[in-house]
A and B are shown apart, each in its own frame.
Chain A
Amino acid sequence: MKALIKTAVGAAIFALAAVPTLAADITLEHAWSRATSPGAKVGAGYVMIKNAGTAADRLVSATAEVAGKVEIHEMKMVDGVMKMRPINGLDIPAGKNVELKPGGFHIMFEQLKQPLKAGDTVKGSLTFEKAGTLPIEYKVEAMKKGGGMSGDHMHH
């Protein structure tokens, strides 16, 4: 009898464990930034955020050692006019990738303590509602023609 009960309890626990729980699973890829002009007070960070999980998540804040203040910004080109706005959070849907790239969303480094130079690494963090705070290291790339937009982009 005891053995039967043990087996039943074991089976129940096993069954419960097998019930899928909704979870976000965030990874960060290709975090990069662009070298700034000497004397620049602002810079931008870009990264590919991947959510391999079954639950949506939301990027809510960011930090960077080289910046006095960091915000999440969205850029929109409307009829030839460039508009940039801070946003409170960026949704990362379940199973999807969200790319922060030139012309779209970026991490805005404000009050730069020093200009960003090609080859530098900017250390910081990204905080998500569910996944918590993840460390990030942006590799600073040289300013170059096209600034990383590589022909795709300019979505509306």
Chain B
Amino acid sequence: MRYGRVIIIWAAALFAAAVVAGVLYLTMSPERARAAIGGPFRLTSQTGEIIDSESLKGRPYAIFFGFTYCPEICPTTMMDMAHLIDKLGAEAKDFKVYFVSVDPERDTPEALGRYLSAFGPHMVGLTGSADEIAQVAREFRVYYKKVPIGDGNYTIDHSAFVYLMGADGRFVNVLQYQEPDDKALAKLKKLFE
């Protein structure tokens, strides 16, 4: 049984080495790390229009993954974004925040439209089939999971970041949930440089 233990130790060492290598790869080559987030998508907006990510190129934008049955994180994030856009002023007059629903079952285009109307004209809801949503989430490395909470009801665990995309359509940075204004504004201003 000594061989068994030796193998385990080697496996652990190799695994650890792989993790370290992975981290080094991502951190030492920021270009590649940035390229790892984002990807092409085609989703349906709250007005029923098909939005292709190709058509978004030429202007920076933000993208957030949430759902309308979310009582706190999602409305707060949308409110914060509306506030930040306000502070940015003229520079951001065409800046859009895309709210991609991770709950396409319940979040129809109409539901999204009604929900986002509270946050102003910069918010655009996007929904699609379960597969289309899964594809975008994968591209943005967004974690989301449907969790039953009794009586046929469910909530969705989801990543709470706002992804900032440059005018070239490539990922630039994230905004953390409730990031302080000054840091968030600095990150947003960079998008327009």
Interface residues of chain A, those whose CB is within 8 Å of chain B, are 34, 36-44, 69, 71, 75, 77, 80-86, 102-103, 106, 108-110, 143-147, 149, 154
Whether B76 contacts A37 by the Cβ 8 Å rule is no
Q: With contacts defined as CB atoms under 8 Å apart, how many contacts are there between chain A and chain B in the complex?
A: 92
Q: Which of B70, B71, B111, B159 contacts A81 (CB 8 A)?
A: B159
Q: Which of A69, A80, A102, A110 contacts B176 (CB 8 A)?
A: A80
Q: Which of B73, B115, B150, B153 contacts A40 (CB 8 A)?
A: B115
Question: What residues of chain A lie closer than 8 Å to B118, measured between beta carbons?
Answer: 36-38, 143
B77-101 contacts to A (CB < 8 Å): 79-80, 83
Interface size bracket, B side: 20 to 34
Q: Is the interface of B mostly helix, strand, loop or mixed?
A: mixed
Most B CB atoms within 10 A — which of A43, A82, A102, A110? A82
Q: Which of A37, A83, A145 contacts B116 (CB 8 A)?
A: A37
Please give me the 10 A-B residue pairs with the lowest Cβ-Cβ distance, nearest first.
A39-B114, A147-B76, A37-B118, A145-B83, A44-B71, A37-B115, A83-B157, A82-B160, A42-B71, A82-B73
Whether A77 contacts B149 by the Cβ 8 Å rule is no
Given contacts A43-B71, A86-B149, A106-B72, 11 further A-B contacts (CB under 8 A): A34-B75, A37-B116, A37-B117, A39-B111, A40-B68, A40-B75, A71-B149, A80-B176, A84-B72, A108-B71, A109-B71
Question: What residues of chain B lie closer than 8 Å to A40, measured between beta carbons?
Answer: 68, 75, 115
Whether A85 contacts B68 by the Cβ 8 Å rule is no
Q: What are 8 residue pairs bridging A and B, where the CB atoms are less than 8 Å apart in the complex?
A: A37-B114, A38-B115, A42-B69, A43-B71, A81-B143, A83-B147, A85-B149, A146-B80
Whether A44 contacts B72 by the Cβ 8 Å rule is yes
**B158 at the binding interface (Cβ < 8 Å):** yes
Q: Which residue of A lies closest to B176 (CB)?
A: A80
**B161 at the binding interface (Cβ < 8 Å):** yes
**B25 at the binding interface (Cβ < 8 Å):** no
CA distance A147 to B83 in the complex (A): 11
Whether B157 contacts A81 by the Cβ 8 Å rule is yes
Whether B75 contacts A37 by the Cβ 8 Å rule is yes
Per-residue contact bits, chain B 128-172, to A (CB 8 Å; 1 contact, 0 not): 000000000000000100010111010101111100000000000
